[in-house]
Structure 1
């Protein structure tokens, strides 16, 4: 895959961790002249830092970079439509050789609860809105706006989408649902379409999310495993897993809709 194209690039959860690194490294790949980078996240201050880091790269100074602080717990399709419309150039999406969206935003959920204890439907609705419903709403608008352009859709997945982990009921179920959505989308669009879908599992990465598991999980074995990896410095850094993702994209040995893990 040639990533060095005139692109529209949108990254969710771009304010910190893997999302910020994704935005930084992918923005280095795209052709600066005529490309647009859109950063979505919760923290306006952290998004500003990601934006500044992107524009501090001399080769990328010509990039058009936009950032939007957005609460995914209440975000609707109209919010994403507005952001896409505001960041498109006057000629619409026709100027882009590729449109890329990276669905990275997500939260862990309550790891202090056992599966048998989870039943608060209001809390579940909010959690699923953040982690699933908002991603589907954004993706629908993205597919509509860039209907005629080649598209790359990356869902930041996890091994927990495929295998159960104690104390991670919220995370496992929502990641499984999200990955299945993208697999169905890839199947429906077909291999002959201009839409390429990848479910990428970044591995165990040194982020706020793994710190949360370490400190809050009711499963002492899982918490200890994360603690040991962090203390032994064997936990991946965001830059490492994003570099691997770029290698996977450039090699493009996967089929649309595939699940590819950092360890593959």
Structure 2
């Protein structure tokens, strides 16, 4: 399958690329990239990043950065990207794609009335909301209108960005805030293609954590959701993501779920 947004000389950045959906995005997107494209994979787990690199086509220019996005500064992120770009800079590329995938589930033991620790809130939002917002700003500063580079921003969202579930206050609120940020970004930047993609229930460590915990406690609505949804493989959901990008039926900034027609 081809996608016009991945053809040609592309700079591709994927966060959370050491496992799960992030790894699959790197695997599925990489073979579609044109000659002389560059890939930058970011995650905390250096070993996991190398495993992802080993699954990508040989001959492709792939770079990794083992970074904790929750503590990274804009200056650090800019340096990491510019190091990959080298002296030729952003203008050497026809297209620039950033996939904001890195995320965490949060504490599933806390009801909303028990979520009273400012430090825990700060740490959760640092990774799940503030980091993608700052990284996106840095990316746009580098690949700005002046560069004439076609830009695509993909935020890996969730059904939980629009549907609340008990004991998932951190995750639901974080996903909602993150998605709204990218909706505002899309309005402000009409020359950038923005997609909030909800991948569905995918067979990842995060889903296993939710399933394990909710099976032990009385989270009836969450259990019902888990029971009624067919669990997808990472390959299935990323294949659907590529279809969405190819068809281009969405308005920039829209929330598109795996199950949307």
TM range, normalised to the smaller chain?
A: over 0.9
Which residue in 1 is equivalent to 2:198?
Answer: 201
Which residue in 1 is equivalent to 2:21?
Answer: 18
Distance in 2 between residues matched to 1:219 and 1:91, nearest whole Å = 57
Q: Does 1:171 align with 2:144?
A: no
Distance in 2 between residues matched to 1:89 and 1:243, nearest whole Å = 32
Do 1:201 and 1:259's aligned partners in 2 also have CA atoms closer than 8 Å?
A: yes
Distance in 2 between residues matched to 1:235 and 1:89, nearest whole Å = 41
Which stretches of structure 1, 4 residues or longer, exceed 3 Å deviation after superposition? 217-220, 222-230
Shift of 1:223: 5.7
| Correspondent of 2:235 among 229, 232, 239 | 239
| Correspondent of 2:41 among 39, 42, 49 | 39
> Where do residues 111-130 of structure 1 align in structure 2 (5 Å cutoff)?
111-130=108-127
Distance in 2 between residues matched to 1:227 and 1:25, nearest whole Å = 26
Secondary structure of 1:122's partner? helix
Shift of 1:89: 3.2
Which residue in 2 is equivalent to 1:154?
Answer: 154
CA deviations on 1:25-73 (whole Å, 9 max, x unpaired) are 1111111x2100000011100100001110xx3xxx2211001111122
Distance in 2 between residues matched to 1:139 and 1:258, nearest whole Å = 17
Distance in 2 between residues matched to 1:98 and 1:225, nearest whole Å = 42
Distance in 2 between residues matched to 1:208 and 1:171, nearest whole Å = 15
Do 2:110 and 2:167's aligned partners in 1 also have CA atoms closer than 8 Å?
A: yes
- Using a 3 Å threshold, how does the CA distance of structure 1 residues 219 and 178 change in structure 2: closer, same or farther? farther
Which range is displaced more, 173-182 or 69-78?
69-78
- Using a 3 Å threshold, how does the CA distance of structure 1 residues 74 and 177 change in structure 2: closer, same or farther? same
Do 2:165 and 2:222's aligned partners in 1 also have CA atoms closer than 8 Å?
A: no
- Using a 3 Å threshold, how does the CA distance of structure 1 residues 169 and 219 change in structure 2: closer, same or farther? farther
TM-score in terms of structure 1 length: 0.91
> Where do residues 59-98 of structure 1 align in structure 2 (5 Å cutoff)?
61-98=58-95
Which residue in 1 is equivalent to 2:32?
Answer: 29
Distance in 2 between residues matched to 1:141 and 1:219, nearest whole Å = 43
Q: Does 1:249 align with 2:252?
A: no
Distance in 2 between residues matched to 1:219 and 1:104, nearest whole Å = 30
Could you say what the CA RMSD is over the residues aligned between the two structures, in angstroms? 1.5
Distance in 2 between residues matched to 1:52 and 1:89, nearest whole Å = 23
Q: Which runs of 5+ in 2 are unaligned?
A: none
Equivalenced residues, count: 252
- Using a 3 Å threshold, how does the CA distance of structure 1 residues 198 and 227 change in structure 2: closer, same or farther? closer
Do 1:34 and 1:95's aligned partners in 2 also have CA atoms closer than 8 Å?
A: no
TM-score in terms of structure 2 length: 0.92
Which range is displaced more, 5-14 or 71-80?
71-80
Q: Which runs of 5+ in 1 are unaligned?
A: none
Shift of 1:166: 0.9
